[in-house]
Amino acid sequence: MVGSRLAGIQIKCWTVFCLGLLACAAPRAASAADCPGHPDAIGTSRTLVVDPREHPRIGAMQYPQTLPLRDHEVVLTFDDGPLPRNSNQVLQILADQCVKATFFIIGQQALASPEGVRKYVAAGHSIGSHSQHHPLTFNKMSAEQAKQEIDAGIASTTAALSDPAQLAPFFRIPGLLRAEPVEEYVASQGLQLWSADFLADDWRHISPSRVYDLAIKRIEARGKGILLLHDIQARTVAALPKILHELKARGYHIVHVVPATPQQPATPTEPEQWLSHPSSAAVAALNWPKVPNFVFAEAAALPAPALSDFDSPDGTLLLSAEPFDRAKRHGVPVPREAPWPRAVALPPENTVATLPVPAASLFALPDKAAALLQPPAPGSHHAEQTAPAAHAMEGEARSSAASGAVKVTSPAREATTDRTAGSRTRIGHGARRTRHFAHGARHSVRVASLKKR
């Protein structure tokens, strides 16, 4: 791939290129239906028109964006030609299948075989550039060296064409050895930088069947995308018919990519469609039916609601600024009643002002239970007394429980009084006896409680 250098030839302005496209007929997409003599051809399902300036770098292998292909759509690309011996065979295979592809041409190859370049164009394929000498040092070379390689390759290819506009503003870095200065320069020239979505390793020393296997396997793994092949390789010539046949058998479609022109604007797409690795949310958004825009297409604003929308009996808005202007009662405006819902006044006959007083019998308790439940009076043990423990107190305890209150016996009252007074000297014999009794009664109650359990 050593050829003469055309360092002096540079195309500086893609405006000239684009203007040239004005006179260039838009490529026509072929399909299996119009592939005469080849009923089994896979054909070209559609033409995708892209704007390089909107999407300057594509290819999932290296960039976050790639071509907005649908599922089971494949774009075929061939690098390094033309090399007539093999390139012509590739062109024949594609013609037999009515397939349109994109060829990335090496400048020195174009100089060596300008007729080969013209054959690509005559067959309706897209052609891009691939540097002048195909150096595998684009990731190392200076920006100036890269610029010279890119510009020379374009000039050499254009020199083979009757119309410079026949060269699409597509560029692929040799060996995909990307570098930021190169990418920036390519973008500054309005060129679309093409990487790829998958390879078939057809430049390696592998068999055609291996090329076929890799191509199908990688296409299937991703489901769609840009396949990079080399039309200068004999193994690719051998593998290509089988690849195309298999793609058709598996339901794939071939898409032809062309650059946008004033006559042929870019195919409408959604930004998510260009994502090399769309998120699950983006995929869902793409698959979800779009909200139709016909509702807003011809109206700047929504129509004002009609009065009838409010279902007012006389067509008057309920939120009128003068709600009291109609009915008057005794000369005083009466608020208008809303037609619905109405405030319903419940009849009062089923309600009473207060709840009935509960009968005293509701609180009646057996004598013993009442005695147990009585809280002890401060400083007194009389509430603990039970019949077995205090025969002398039995009558009083029973009567106390019945009345809901504990009557303290006089000896206990003495003791209580004396204790709260804090004077032990005033405790008499009776009081001291009562304390002993009370202590014994408490003990008896506890024993009785344990026995009940």
Residues that bind Zn ion (CB under 5 A): 79-80, 174
Comparison of 80 and 418: residue with beta carbon closer to Zn ion: 80
* Least gap, CB of 132 to Zn ion (angstroms): 12
Comparison of 73 and 79: residue with beta carbon closer to Zn ion: 79
From residue 209, alpha-carbon distances to 85, 215, 236, 241, 348 in Å are: 20, 10, 9, 11, 96
- What's the angle, vertex CA 180, arms to CA 178 and CA 181, rounded to 5? 110
Comparison of 173 and 260: residue with beta carbon closer to Zn ion: 173
* Least gap, CB of 183 to Zn ion (angstroms): 17
Comparison of 95 and 141: residue with beta carbon closer to Zn ion: 141
CA gap 113, 109 in Å, rounded: 6
SS3 42: coil
Comparison of 194 and 274: residue with beta carbon closer to Zn ion: 194
How is residue 10 written in tokens?
């540079």
β-bridge pairing 73-81 and 102-105: parallel
* Least gap, CB of 91 to Zn ion (angstroms): 18
* Least gap, CB of 134 to Zn ion (angstroms): 5
What residue is closest to Zn ion based on CB? 79
* Least gap, CB of 86 to Zn ion (angstroms): 14
- 163 Cβ contact list (under 8 Å, min separation 6): 20, 23, 24
* Least gap, CB of 230 to Zn ion (angstroms): 7
- 448 Cβ contact list (under 8 Å, min separation 6): 386, 388
Q: CB–CB of 114/294 below 8 Å? A: no
Comparison of 80 and 151: residue with beta carbon closer to Zn ion: 80
The H-assigned helical ranges of 57-179 are 84-96, 107-112, 114-122, 143-159
Residue type, 314: D
Rg (CA), the chain: 50
Q: DSSP letters along 332-392, please? A: EE-PPPPSSS--PPPPGGG--SSPPPPPGGGG---HHHHHHHSPPPTT--GGG--TTT-GG
Comparison of 174 and 225: residue with beta carbon closer to Zn ion: 174
Q: CB–CB of 383/376 below 8 Å? A: yes
* Least gap, CB of 80 to Zn ion (angstroms): 4
Residue type, 327: A
CA gap 206, 57 in Å, rounded: 30
* Least gap, CB of 130 to Zn ion (angstroms): 6
Comparison of 111 and 266: residue with beta carbon closer to Zn ion: 111
* Least gap, CB of 231 to Zn ion (angstroms): 11
Comparison of 35 and 191: residue with beta carbon closer to Zn ion: 191
Comparison of 138 and 437: residue with beta carbon closer to Zn ion: 138
For residues 368, 370, 375, 380, the Cα torsion angle rounded to the nearest 10 degrees is -50
Q: CB–CB of 375/381 below 8 Å? A: no
Comparison of 80 and 202: residue with beta carbon closer to Zn ion: 80
Phi and psi torsions of 169, nearest 5°: -75, 55
CA gap 389, 340 in Å, rounded: 75
* Least gap, CB of 173 to Zn ion (angstroms): 9
| N-terminal to C-terminal alpha carbon distance within the chain | 109
* Least gap, CB of 2 to Zn ion (angstroms): 14
Comparison of 21 and 83: residue with beta carbon closer to Zn ion: 83
* Least gap, CB of 300 to Zn ion (angstroms): 54
